[in-house]
Structure 1
Amino acid sequence: MTLLLRQPVITNRVAAAELGVSSVAAQAGIDRLVAAGVLTQAGGGARNRRWAAQEVLDALDAFGARALRQG
């Protein structure tokens, strides 16, 4: 989950490299997170797919909005 806090939109390649696992293992983890509702597919078809941790993105957007109001 730390990876998703640093990079809330990931690809299989990024997940595999950051976690030091195979592409197959990375995809299995991504699939579990999709099933749990943590990630949603954010684009692409069969190739170049991306997944987003929408709750993290929403929190970042809210933080940015608060920062603008206070600035």
Structure 2
Amino acid sequence: PQRFSATFPQPMTLRSVTITPQGRAAIQAPVTAAAASRQVSTALWRLAAGNYTLNWTAQGADGQAVNGAVRFMVH
């Protein structure tokens, strides 16, 4: 994938994105400061073939954090 994107029912600010290759340490993806939006995204780098877990954290205007994870494979 070239980007990670998420859509929310309320404006959120993306705070962190990490990608963890299977059996290796997590790598922090760059997150650019941006105004809160219902759709957030960040660019990803070219990944080698393998299994990965992408973890993300976003924050609403009330300060409440929302976390999620996506597992995927690159062929």
TM-score normalised by L of structure 1? 0.20
Structure showing greater relative contact order (alpha-carbon pairs closer than 8 Å, 6 or more residues apart): 2
- More strand by proportion, 1 or 2? 2
Q: Max radius of gyration: which structure?
A: 1
TM-score by length of 2: 0.20
Structure with a larger share of its residues in helix = 1
